Structure 1
Amino acid sequence: MGLTATIRTRDGWAVSHAVVTLADMTGSQVLRVEADIEGAVRDVNPLPPGAYTVIVTAVGYAPAAASAIVTASGRAEVGTVTLARQGGTELPPPGPWTVDPAHSTVGAVAQHLGISSVRGRFTDFAASIEVARDDVTKSRVEAVVRADSIDTGNATRDGHLKSADFLDVERFPQITYRSSGLTVAGSDRWTVHGELSLHGVVRPVDLDLAYLGTGSDPWGGTRAAFRATAQLRREDFAMNYNQVVQAGIAAIGTTLKVELDIQAVQGDSLPRV
């Protein structure tokens, strides 16, 4: 008897703080109940038979409405009600997430000789994400990259990039990024605002972030995937080296495109697998 319902996000996660209100055809409130930790509503009190409107609300989500018919037994089964993030924006469930470096890539692309691109990546890094519960724009990202882990597939080039001409890894062994906030850029897109410390210079850098969804992994964890990009000017970080091979053409372009493919595991540490 009573009302049963399940409240989920678009990714299928429980909305444990959802409030379900049942109103009759005159608009009068008949029942108000909160979902449990599994996002389930199981009210056992019998209801008067008839047609009702179910309204579901939760902090950070757009309200949703559904119809319900209470049978002669005093029971109504609403099924699953899906809530969308306020404004149509989506992020993973709130709380801490830890970036998995074994399944993530921190890469950069530079133009070479004005006609092609050279790609590189950093192989040693750590990062954490904190998804805010009530106001997702206050979510935070922190990352640390070892500068000497640069790998472009060529030892000679890597050695030059580690030298004082570029990263100067002896003086500046770490590259860090700390976010200061997020703004909505689309239904699954965000702009991450933060500060990048690179080559001894700290400058504001925005990341264009796409949230790709969440899912279970084979080790019993939950993972979220992101893709992010940014453009940096080398001279903004005091990396002014250049070799002009001919009039107007530099050996290495002055603009770098940063490309991040990220998997994060729910929790404040990585599981042992």
Structure 2
Amino acid sequence: MKKTLLALALGATTLFSAATLADDYVIDTNGAHASINFKVPHLGYSFIKGRFNDFGGEFSYDPANVTDSVIVVNIDTTSLDSNHAERDKHLRSGDFINASKFSTATFKSTSVEENADGTLTLNGDLTLHGKTNPIAIQANFIGAGEDPWGGYRAGFEGTTRLALKDYDIAVMGASSYVDLELHVEGIRK
């Protein structure tokens, strides 16, 4: 009986220890060390580039067990910025992302895959324009280490392409998709 209890206690301790090895991070938006950028085709002749200025989130990351990583990001869609006030007003309108009605977009990871080439695939659900769809973000771990202020940071970059029709956002000619480029630097809590 004592051996069984000891084995159960050791097993529970091992499981608890493994579950707590991941470090928790908050995305560093205050220091402008993170960005969510977009690129949309314009009439088939060029691209409109921009960003979302206000967003936040958290992630858990353990380099020894990457598949247990988790990330949640909330984006203020009213902060869309393409460096052109009139265009931004139109893009935020009901003709496109309808930011006044759908002021928050959210990404919540469902799984993380470590690919053979060392890259990551972050699978998750993106809620945008009132619709939730699964997406995959192709990501790279940039690095981790101590910062000059006594903290510890980890950084990633990623890309994904969204079909606008999947989110009931108006399509205009070649503008049937948006490419997202993500830069995430987190400060360990």
TM-score of the superposed pair, with normalisation by structure 2: 0.83
Check the 8 A contact 1:95/1:133 in 2, yes or no: no
Residue in 2 that maps onto 1:263: 185
1:146-189: CA deviation from partner (whole Å, max 9, x where unpaired): 00000000000000011001110111110000001111113531
The aligned amino acid for 2:145 is: G
1:63-142 alignment to 2 at 5 Å? 94-101=22-29, 102-132=32-62, 135-142=65-72
Question: What is the identity percentage for the equivalent residue pairs of Structure 1 and Structure 2?
Answer: 30
Residue in 2 that maps onto 1:8: none
Distance, in Å, in 1 between the alignment partners of 2:155 and 2:133 is: 26
Q: Which structure has the larger Rg over C-alpha atoms?
A: 1
- SS of corresponding position for 2:50: strand
Change (3 A) 1:134 1:211: closer
For these two proteins, the number of residue pairs brought into alignment is 168
Query: Which of the numbers 193, 198, 212 marks the counterpart of 2:123?
Result: 193
Runs of 4+ in 1 over 3 A off after TM superposition: 132-135
Query: Which of the numbers 156, 159, 162 marks the counterpart of 1:226?
Result: 156
Residue in 2 that maps onto 1:32: none
Residue in 1 that maps onto 2:101: 171
Distance, in Å, in 2 between the alignment partners of 1:184 and 1:142 is: 18
Distance, in Å, in 1 between the alignment partners of 2:139 and 2:72 is: 14
Distance, in Å, in 1 between the alignment partners of 2:137 and 2:97 is: 21
Say yes or no: does 1:238 pair with 2:168. yes
1:219 Cα offset (Å): 1.2
TM-score of the superposed pair, with normalisation by structure 1: 0.59
Residue in 2 that maps onto 1:52: none
Distance, in Å, in 2 between the alignment partners of 1:121 and 1:133 is: 29
| Unaligned runs of at least 5 residues, structure 1 | 1-58, 60-92, 243-249, 268-273
Check the 8 A contact 1:192/1:206 in 2, yes or no: yes
1:202-221 alignment to 2 at 5 Å? 202-221=132-151
CA RMSD of aligned residues (A): 1.7
Richer in strand (by share): 1
1:132 Cα offset (Å): 4.9
Distance, in Å, in 2 between the alignment partners of 1:202 and 1:167 is: 14
